[in-house]
Structure 1
Amino acid sequence: MSTAAERAHAADEPHSRHARWRRRRPLRTRLALATSTAVALVTLGVCAAGFSIMRYELVHQLDLQLTQHATLVQQQNRGQGPRVLYAECGYLAAPACTQIVPAEPAKDPAAPYLLPVTPATRAVAAGQRGGYYSAITVSGHPARMLTTRFASGTAVQVALRSDAVQQGVRQAGELMAAVAGAGVLLAGVLGYAAARTGLAPVARLTATAERIAATRDATVRIDLPDERGRRGGRDAGADEVTRLAGAFNAMLGELEQSVTAQRRLVADASHELRTPLTALRTNAELLARTDRLTPEQRARATAGLQRQLREVTGLVNDLIELARDEEPQALVELVRLGPLVAHCVETARGHWSAVAFEYAPQGDPTLPGVPARLVRLVGNLLDNAAKFSPPGGPVEVTLTDRGLTVRDHGPGIAPEDLPYVFDRFYRASAARALPGSGLGLAMARQIARAHGADLTAEAAPGGGALFRLTF
């Protein structure tokens, strides 16, 4: 068992060392090595292929000369018996060193052969195999020999020196080796340059991210090369790094807005909580001296304390609702809006007895959502309309298959206030004396967006405000 475990550990050790090496090396080094290795392998492959082609062509030219000599010998010496035709084998110049060999050793001529005769030569003479080329050495010189069929029962051997061919092959090999070495060196330089240039935007992005992490400054942006990147890097012509930088800038913009909204929410919540908390503390201190208060004073202080507690509780609940960005999926169901809006209108009539709610359903759409949240959405719209309606003024509620509209006949929304009516804690100058925390419409829009709907506000024709919920 221990031996098997040791073998497994030994097999995994090179992989672990490679993984540790990759973790220790920066991306630029790894990319440069990968690029250089790829280019170097291509260079070596091209040089090896070029050397092989050159060597083949040089040897092929020599083989063609041997074939031509063998054909010439067959034409000029037809009917001749075994013998040595050209004996200048020390030089092996044209005409080539040539001899005719019989299939049977008993028929060999008296003069000795100058070229090596092997059983393969006898097999060619006997017609048992085809001709072949071979590398030999004659008189201390390298040569290439062709053995082929001459006539019935004989073979002809033709040889030429291959010094020039071998020298050409050697020179070609040295040249290709030099080219390959220079190519590998150039591949290393170009690989490093390519990695440095290609990863420069990534390095800037990394430096920006580290700066943001250190300073917590979300206003920093990455400089992009062209206008396409400033549009968020979504242009099809932008490269991947530019698109990444654009997406990173867009993410930083969202982060900056989120941080700004969070700070504004905390500041606004602190401001809104300061007044009711001060009143709570005053009433609590007053009730602490209950022995000095008359029953009427004690009752007023208790009622004020309860009212302020309700306001603080409502404000905290609204803040909790606004802090939730999406609806719980487990509670989503198909909701018929006709009965839901009718229920909200009846509830509003009970809360606002001085306001006439006119409900005119013209459809009964179905929407996937959370019923309690949709009730809160419609209820906030109705409460807002009732709050600004004059005594006895109507609030017109219309439901169609495409959306819901709620219109009041109050003072309406001033043009300068219209862009901010859905902001948290925003209260127009005409509404600051009315009850509320300024969170109702912000919560209504958040619930609408969570349900895939759009909530807008506009000035109603003839006066008043019109809120339109579009599915």
Structure 2
Amino acid sequence: MSGVGRRRLGGAWRRRRPLRTRLALATTAAVALVAVGVCTAAFFVVRDALYDQLDLSLTQSARLAAGRNQGAPPGTLAGECRFLAAPACAEVVPADPAKDPRPPGQLPVAPAAREVAAGERAPYYTDITLAGHPMRMLTTDFAKGRALQVALRADTVQDGIAQAAGWLALIGAAGVLLAAVLGYWVSRRGLAPVTRIAATAERIAATRDPRHRIVLPPPGREDEITRLAGSFNTMLGELEQSVTAQRRLVADASHELRTPLTALRTNAELLARGERLTPEQRQRASLALGRQLREVTGLVNDLIELARDEEPQALVEQVRLAALVEHCAQAARAHWPAVPFRVRVAGAETVVVAGVPARLSRLLGNLLDNAAKFSPAGAAVEVELTAAGAGGRAELTVRDHGPGVAEEDLPYVFDRFYRAGAARSLPGSGLGLAMARQIARAHAAELTVERAPGGGAVFRLAF
């Protein structure tokens, strides 16, 4: 298999492995690497310590032999060292092999030993084998022109090193196994919230029900994963509200559209049998059909406007509020000729806000239409625009002198399709104020309603 093929196969295998497995393997590899490194370092420390102890014994034996045999000629000073219980064997080695009258000794004499005897080299340690046994030998200076070789059996040191290596290998293997178990436990416990998040997301995708939530640990045990789960729960809450609002909007829209559509169908069927109707009946049916078409068109347009979540940024511009209020008041006077509109601008002639002029006009128009609809004949609708503070924060109030808003209706005034008992006999779909609040919030403004002293309602728009 080519290198490219192996890389592709390895990448696909990594992608197929779940995150829990990859985390467990990474944790195991990290802990195993540390365990192997520690055991390896411990092995070298133990080995060096054992050899240092043996070298110390050789140094002491050499000092003892040199003290007892000062001026001794070349030859063997101590006997055989084939047995563990025997003392160190020692030999005196001359610098010149020709001046060595004795037969070859039992310890091997290397050229380096002649150099130590001649004073040309420092003392040194070496490992040798004698009679099939491992030994450690020290070659040091003894007298002028002579060197001293001292050797000890190294079986115990090598056995200790082998035993330490075995134990350390066993400990390392146990550490790797323990690392694998701990890695799996850590990955399983650490990724449990992620697993719950994935399961919740899959359950929502399968059931299309955003009411599911992730179970969070008790307070005091928060971590990054818990924060992620909490953020996911918050997102699910927002999603549930959005889905609920969408379903409610669809249900309310279908309910509100059912009546005008039925009337439209009835009038259309009536006009289809026009030969049976008198001219007056046909005219009334045509006028009713046109009026109902306008109502349905307005209702559909309002639903489309409510479905928009934000204002188009490309259309945002600086709007002079005083001029916009005067323009909307003129339009309201033309639409409600029997209702007087009194506009007062108190120090807000130069106040401007960032917004979409058409949308702000729709907002003010809805407020003025709502006030005119509830105002009795001859009662004025009072519109006041004021500016407060150095920054010129604008506030618009629209007051009518109608029946006002009942205390129990105040929390629901801006709900879609909500109509109070006193308003059900009046024209409208119940979307105007809901649309007004949506436009206000899109322009960083707050629209509220309150009962006016002496009767009526006051709608307050604060930018």
Q: What's the TM-score once normalised by structure 2's chain length? A: 0.89
* Paired position in structure 2 for 1:397: 384
Cα distance in 1, alignment partners of residues 70 and 324 from structure 2: 116
* Paired position in structure 2 for 1:250: 234
The one-letter code of the counterpart of 2:334 is: G
Cα distance in 1, alignment partners of residues 71 and 180 from structure 2: 66
Could you say if the C-alpha distance between residues 127 and 455 of structure 1 is closer, same or farther in structure 2, counting changes exceeding 3 Å? farther
Cα distance in 2, alignment partners of residues 412 and 192 from structure 1: 67
Post-superposition Cα deviations, 1:223-280, rounded to whole Å, max 9, x if no partner, equal: 3332x4xxxxxx8x51233333333332332222222211211111111112222222
Q: May I ask how many residue pairs the two structures share in their alignment?
A: 455
Q: CA deviation at 1:356?
A: 1.8
2:167 pairs with 1:181: no
Q: CA deviation at 1:150?
A: 3.8
Deviates more, 1:288-297 or 1:158-167: 288-297
* Paired position in structure 2 for 1:334: 318
Among 259, 263, 268, the alignment partner of 1:275 is 259
Among 27, 35, 53, the alignment partner of 2:19 is 27
Cα distance in 2, alignment partners of residues 344 and 435 from structure 1: 20
The one-letter code of the counterpart of 1:209 is: A
Secondary structure at 1:86 match in 2: coil
Cα distance in 2, alignment partners of residues 163 and 267 from structure 1: 93
Q: CA deviation at 1:306?
A: 1.9
Q: How does 1:311-390 map to 2 (within 5 A)?
A: 311-353=295-337, 354-363=339-348, 364-390=350-376
Secondary structure at 2:188 match in 1: helix
Q: CA deviation at 1:418?
A: 0.9
Secondary structure at 1:416 match in 2: helix
Among 100, 113, 120, the alignment partner of 2:112 is 120
Could you say if the C-alpha distance between residues 116 and 289 of structure 1 is closer, same or farther in structure 2, counting changes exceeding 3 Å? same
Among 91, 95, 104, the alignment partner of 2:96 is 104
* Paired position in structure 1 for 2:285: 301
Cα distance in 2, alignment partners of residues 297 and 291 from structure 1: 11
Q: CA deviation at 1:93?
A: 5.6
Cα distance in 2, alignment partners of residues 343 and 152 from structure 1: 123
Residues 389 and 395 in structure 1, CA contact (< 8 A), matched pair in contact too: no
Residues 341 and 380 in structure 2, CA contact (< 8 A), matched pair in contact too: yes
Cα distance in 2, alignment partners of residues 349 and 366 from structure 1: 24
Q: CA deviation at 1:170?
A: 0.9
Among 10, 13, 27, the alignment partner of 2:2 is 10
Secondary structure at 2:408 match in 1: coil
Give 5+ residue unaligned stretches, structure 1: 1-8, 229-234
Residues 420 and 426 in structure 1, CA contact (< 8 A), matched pair in contact too: yes
Q: CA deviation at 1:95?
A: 4.4
Cα distance in 1, alignment partners of residues 321 and 141 from structure 2: 103
Cα distance in 2, alignment partners of residues 92 and 317 from structure 1: 107
Q: CA deviation at 1:171?
A: 0.9
2:443 pairs with 1:451: yes
The one-letter code of the counterpart of 1:390 is: P
Secondary structure at 1:89 match in 2: coil
Deviates more, 1:202-211 or 1:306-315: 202-211
Cα distance in 2, alignment partners of residues 153 and 342 from structure 1: 124
2:86 pairs with 1:86: no
Cα distance in 1, alignment partners of residues 135 and 63 from structure 2: 19
Secondary structure at 1:117 match in 2: coil
* Paired position in structure 1 for 2:459: 467
Secondary structure at 1:417 match in 2: helix
* Paired position in structure 2 for 1:39: 31
2:434 pairs with 1:442: yes
Q: CA deviation at 1:423?
A: 0.9
Cα distance in 2, alignment partners of residues 124 and 326 from structure 1: 95
Cα distance in 2, alignment partners of residues 421 and 180 from structure 1: 74
Post-superposition Cα deviations, 1:14-68, rounded to whole Å, max 9, x if no partner, equal: 3222222233333333333333333323222222222222222111111222223
* Paired position in structure 2 for 1:232: none
Cα distance in 2, alignment partners of residues 442 and 183 from structure 1: 67
* Paired position in structure 1 for 2:415: 423
Q: CA deviation at 1:109?
A: 4.4
Cα distance in 2, alignment partners of residues 148 and 22 from structure 1: 61
Cα distance in 2, alignment partners of residues 150 and 460 from structure 1: 120
Q: CA deviation at 1:219?
A: 2.5
Residues 81 and 87 in structure 2, CA contact (< 8 A), matched pair in contact too: no
The one-letter code of the counterpart of 1:398 is: L
The one-letter code of the counterpart of 1:451 is: H
Cα distance in 2, alignment partners of residues 218 and 76 from structure 1: 96
Post-superposition Cα deviations, 1:98-119, rounded to whole Å, max 9, x if no partner, equal: 2333443333342423322223
The one-letter code of the counterpart of 1:356 is: F
2:225 pairs with 1:241: yes
Q: CA deviation at 1:153?
A: 4.3
Cα distance in 2, alignment partners of residues 345 and 149 from structure 1: 119
Post-superposition Cα deviations, 1:389-440, rounded to whole Å, max 9, x if no partner, equal: 2333232222323232323132221111111111111111111122221111
Secondary structure at 2:407 match in 1: coil
The one-letter code of the counterpart of 1:175 is: W
Could you say if the C-alpha distance between residues 147 and 153 of structure 1 is closer, same or farther in structure 2, counting changes exceeding 3 Å? same
Could you say if the C-alpha distance between residues 404 and 294 of structure 1 is closer, same or farther in structure 2, counting changes exceeding 3 Å? farther
Cα distance in 1, alignment partners of residues 67 and 447 from structure 2: 105
Secondary structure at 2:255 match in 1: helix
Deviates more, 1:128-137 or 1:429-438: 128-137
Cα distance in 1, alignment partners of residues 453 and 89 from structure 2: 117
Q: CA deviation at 1:209?
A: 2.9
2:398 pairs with 1:407: yes
Deviates more, 1:102-111 or 1:438-447: 102-111
Cα distance in 1, alignment partners of residues 145 and 84 from structure 2: 26
* Paired position in structure 2 for 1:224: 216
Question: What's the Cα RMSD here?
Answer: 2.6
Residues 338 and 361 in structure 1, CA contact (< 8 A), matched pair in contact too: no
Cα distance in 2, alignment partners of residues 340 and 148 from structure 1: 110
